[in-house]
Amino acid sequence: MNAPDSLFRTASNFLLEPNNLEPGNLSSVFGSMLTHRLDYADLYFQYTRHEGWSLEEGIVKSGSFSIDQGVGVRAVSGEKTAFAYSDEISRAALDDAAKATRAIAGQGGNQKPAAVNQRGLSRVLYPGLDPLASIADADKVRLLEKLEKLCRDKDKRVTQVMASLAGEYEVVMVARADGMMAADVRPLVRMSVQVIVEQNGRREQGSAGGGGRSDYGLFTDARLAEYADHAVSQGLVNLRARPAPAGTMTVVLGPGWPGILLHEAIGHGLEGDFNRKGSSTFAGRIGKRVASKGVTVVDDGTIAGRRGSLSMDDEGNPTQCTTLIEDGILRCYLQDTMNARLMGVPVTGNGRRESFAHVVMPRMTNTYMLNGDKDPAEIIKSVKKGLYAVNFGGGQVDITSGKFVFSASEAYMIEGGKVTYPVKGATLIGNGPDALTRVKMVGNDMALDSGVGTCGKEGQSVPVGVGQPTLRIDGLTVGGTA
């Protein structure tokens, strides 16, 4: 792991020195902004290299490479935010952007800018390396070819394999008007595979993948075999799946990726901006019971190497593990600096933005439910008739009402306490806060997803993680095809 001072040197080498900037220049930029009344101001510098490779029918069908850099300038006064950005990092661009932010604040400010200085991170959660340079381009293609071969060798019913590989090297630096300056180097890799299987004229698909804040060395032979096995197995299960029944029934959610339902149906409703504005169904309910006993939900940006983790958020604040719901009681919302100040609560290190060209919002990192005390086999055995949802595809949620619709990409019927046959076309329909109160059993097998999650909010996308143990939820509406 890189030490904080090493990260700061790297960020300076990429972002400041090539553009003839130094911390003293940044102090003078804040000086021009603070002639007006402001509660907060920051500069967000970013440099990003990204590549993507895709393979289909045994050949590389596409490849991409991009370099992006720029700076975002933000000023906050009360509930108002002024934001400007430039893809040119220079003193002139900073001055122009700073002038553009003055419109939100009245005259008469007499604040003096603090001297911008380095204040390193307390911890570093991933190596500050460049995934794109970790192996040769030919070896990247060979990874995809190896994954394709593993999938085809699994079963002769595999007729098509589509695999993709992506890597990103991101260097960021945050300078704030209070004098704080912090930097981070953020590697990110991801591999995905989708297979088409066919038998007797019926075609189905399966998918798998994973990633994290590492280099391409993450994708070992064992991990590739795991992806291939999961994708092909899911496709073959769907080949023999029957139409899903519809109605109100008990639903058992598997561990890991099914936590995406928790993320969408509940997590967004616990972000500070929605609650400050009163638009979330959880607004004003701190200290009140919002879930069944035994339900504890956290957002943890501090798990080393995870896709959703950050050594610091995009305001330079250290990320942390925040308990949102404790044994069914709502304890906290996720906060960035502005919402925390306006709500009179501590910052939780959840200020995130897609890039220098986007404003900060409170966002999730790795959001998951903690373990309960039930054996997963005991949970299945307790269900006379219901649905066992192992994996999910897409879904939608209304933050204001909490209503959600999710489609299961792999699901089975439970009959007489046993998992019987697979079903296709099952959708879960419900209300997030209501579903929390219907949790009857929480397993002891909590797992995080494999590292594929991307969260969208107000047009911005950021990498995230999800997770949960096996859960039994009573009385959910299942939309089926039967």
For 246-312, the DSSP string reads -EEEEEEEPSSTTHHHHIIIIIGGGBHHHHHTT-STTTT-TTSB-S-TT--EEEES-STT-TT--SB
User: Which contacts qualify for 68-71: CB closer than 8 Å, 24 or more apart?
Assistant: 68/355, 69/14, 69/15, 69/45, 69/356, 70/45, 70/46, 70/355, 70/356, 70/357, 71/43, 71/44, 71/45, 71/46, 71/97, 71/356
Q: What is the pLDDT of residues 389-428, one digit of tens each?
A: 999 987 788 877 888 999 999 999 999 999 999 999 999 9
| CA separation for the pair 174, 285 (Å, rounded) | 33
pTM of the model: 0.94
Q: What is the pLDDT of residues 29-64, one digit of tens each?
A: 888 787 778 889 999 999 999 999 999 988 998 999
Q: Is the pLDDT of residue 262 over 80?
A: yes
Q: Is the pLDDT of residue 1 over 70?
A: no
Q: What is the pLDDT of residues 365-397, one digit of tens each?
A: 999 999 999 999 999 999 999 999 999 987 788
Residue whose entry in the numeric block shows the structure tokens 């699901």: 411
The pLDDT of residue 434:
92
The pLDDT of residue 463:
98
Residue whose entry in the numeric block shows the structure tokens 């209503």: 403
The pLDDT of residue 2:
59
| CA separation for the pair 20, 17 (Å, rounded) | 5
The pLDDT of residue 106:
54
Q: Cα 416 to the chain's mean position, in Å?
A: 37
Q: Is the pLDDT of residue 154 over 70?
A: yes
Confirm if 455 and 271 have CB atoms less than 8 A apart.
Answer: no
Tokens of 237: 């299960």
Confirm if 348 and 340 have CB atoms less than 8 A apart.
Answer: yes
Share of the chain above pLDDT 70, in %: 95
Q: What number of residues does the chain have?
A: 482
The pLDDT of residue 90:
93
pLDDT, mean of residues 325-350: 97
Per-residue pLDDT band for 123 (boundaries 50, 70, 90) equals confident
Q: Cα 251 to the chain's mean position, in Å?
A: 25
| CA separation for the pair 30, 88 (Å, rounded) | 18
Q: Is the pLDDT of residue 203 over 80?
A: yes
Contacts of 179 (CB under 8 A, 6+ apart): 113, 114, 115, 116, 117, 119
Contacts of 85 (CB under 8 A, 6+ apart): 70, 71, 72, 73, 97, 356, 357
The pLDDT of residue 251:
97
